[in-house]
Amino acid sequence: MAEKSTSRSVEVTIDLVAETAGVSRATVSRVINGSAKVSPETEKAVRKAIKKYNFVPNTTARRLAGGRSGLVALVLEESSEEFFLNPFWGLVVQGFTTAISDAGMQPLLLIRPKTGSEDSLFESLRKAQVDGIAMFSWHRSVKSFERLLPKGVPVVFGGDLGGSDKFPYVDVDNVQGGYLATKHLISQGCKKIVAITGDLKLQSGRDRFEGFEKAMSEAGREISPASVLTGDYSTSKAEEVVREFLKKKIPFDGIFAGNDLSAIGAINVLLQNKIAVPKQVKVIGFDNSPVATRSVPALSSIHQPTRELGAEVANMLVAALSGAVVSKKMLPVKLVARESTAKS
């Protein structure tokens, strides 16, 4: 009788199922959620253990018991145009969701417009009871983020979003990227270079422009305020500011754009005004996204490991959830020269 009583008192958990099947709890989670492929033999062993114990995962019960929901949020504060038209975000999301799923958790994507309410966003995060948050592209003060953040929830930033020391982040070397792009234009013979900035509310926009300034200063070039066009990473804004710039009749022979979409916008307006690229004006972007190779002429760009950026943010968040101490990581960039900056 004692043995039967002990048997009945054993709590059937995902760890027990994993031990019986001879796999990790993450693998059991993958089989249950269908979030990633496992071998047929592994799936069979897991299914057998689940059947043996009649195991039914109960997310609500785990939450009430102080356990984890298995949900990890990826939050993007972007316009519809920026998210759906910029292939950068597709690659980031792909890298992030794959890594999170491989860790046996479920990614939750939240996209909100820049004009959205902060309170509504964080209320949604609280209701979802997410285990962790990855934040990309936060366009306002980090202080507001700190104030509204659900207590006890690990956070990792995708990029240095304002210099906060409270949150770990993964970023690319945007200063070096802006520097390499501008040095390339100078090496290709450009004497009068225009910069189309990214969104200067974002650290990436400020860092890329800092790299531009560094390269220009090293080359002994003055930067005229009229040659700095304020963009926001969108094609439409780049087209607008370049059209206005052309009306000023200021001579120029090179453009460094804050991202590939801005560079494409600049090329569109140049070609509409019968200004040949690269013969009269050379143009370089940043991201090395798929639009760079599809552009006519093919766009020179600064390559950043976009998919890896998403994956590294996910891996850092998983590490934080396991109790590891995480801080920050910087990913390298490199120049990819194409037709848009070729010498005549």
Is CATH 3.30.70.580 the right assignment for the domain spanning 71-171+306-331?
no
Other CB atoms closer than 10 Å to residue 7's CB: what's the count? 8
For residue 335, give every residue at least 6 positions away whose Cβ sits within 8 Å of its Cβ, in sequence order, or none. Answer: 180, 181, 184, 300, 302, 303
Is CATH 3.40.50.720 the right assignment for the domain spanning 2-57?
no
Locate CATH 1.10.260.40 in the chain.
2-57
Which of 289, 306, 307 lies closest to 298, judged by CA?
289
Locate CATH 3.40.50.2300 in the chain.
71-171+306-331, 174-304+336-341
Q: Report the C-alpha gap between 12 and 319 in whole angstroms.
A: 26
Whether 253 and 243 have beta carbons less than 8 Å apart is answered as no
What fold is seen in the domain 174-304+336-341? Rossmann fold (3.40.50)
Report the predicted TM-score, pTM, of the whole model to 2 decimal places: 0.76
Q: Tokens 């996910």 identify what position?
A: 314
For residue 228, give both structure tokens: 């700095």
| pLDDT tens digits, 167-203 | 889 999 999 999 999 999 999 999 999 999 999 988 8
| pLDDT tens digits, 100-126 | 988 888 898 888 766 655 666 777 777
| pLDDT tens digits, 6-65 | 344 456 777 888 889 998 877 887 777 665 577 888 888 988 988 888 886 655 444 434
Mutual orientation of helices 14-21 and 40-53 as an angle, nearest 10°? Answer: 130
